[in-house]
Each structure stands twice: as C-alpha cells, then as structure tokens.
Amino acid sequence: MSIIPNSIIEIKPHLNAGKVLSEVESIKLVSPTTFFSIPLAIEKVSAGFPSPAQDYVDRTLDMNEHLIKNEEATFSVRVASLSMLNAGIDIDDELIVDRSLDAKHNDIVVALIDND
C-alpha cells in the first residue's frame, strides 16, 4: 500500500473533526463461511404490488458470492465518524472493503493517509 504525501493532497478539516484514536475499531478478516443466506423466489416481480402466488422459494443466495470477489484482500471495518453520512454511511455501519479493487473517479474508498 502506498501512502500519498501531504504535498499532493489537501486534507479537509471536516474529515478530522471528532476523530479520536479510541474510536478506531480493529479490522477483522471476513470469513467466507456462509452464516446467512437470502431466499430467492422462483418468480420475477414487476414493479408494483406483488402477487401472493409468488411466495414459492426456489433457492437461496449466498451473499458472499455477491459481496466478496477476492477473499484474501477483503475485510470488514466498523465506521466511527459521521464524515460520510451524506453518502449514507453512518456510525457503527459495517463496511466490506476489497483492497484489490482499483478506485475510480467518484468511488468511495477507505484510505490510509499519514498512518491515519
């Protein structure tokens, strides 16, 4: 992981507001073991009101298959500030982070800047 020098970026004061070292949660590895799967109905639904006849469950979805693309580079972390609230990320939300993905313009990233 490369660290971006301060001379290249501007750190906005509001990003550091309220940040205290004790708020940093430990990073935990994501286990590929399925703990929860979601039933997938056999019928597709149209926008609007669903039919009671569509209650038949065909199979379940393993959420690991949809959320974890690279097991070795994936971890979860708990949010400890309100800096991303406007993006829908709140305190105590758990994020799934894949370090192997390349960030693109307008992506939300978890970044380490000056070991912070």
Q: What is the pLDDT of residues 1-19, one digit of tens each?
A: 455 665 666 666 666 555 5
DSSP string, 70-105: -GGGEEEEE--SSTTGGGT--TT-EEEEETTSPP-T
Residue 94, domain member (yes or no): yes
Residue 115, domain member (yes or no): no
Instruction: Report the pLDDT value the prediction gives residue 113, as an integer from 0 to 100.
Output: 78
Number of domains in the chain: 1
Residue 2, domain member (yes or no): no
Instruction: Report the pLDDT value the prediction gives residue 36, as an integer from 0 to 100.
Output: 61
Residue 52, domain member (yes or no): yes
Q: Which domain holds residue 94?
A: 13-98
Residue 80, domain member (yes or no): yes
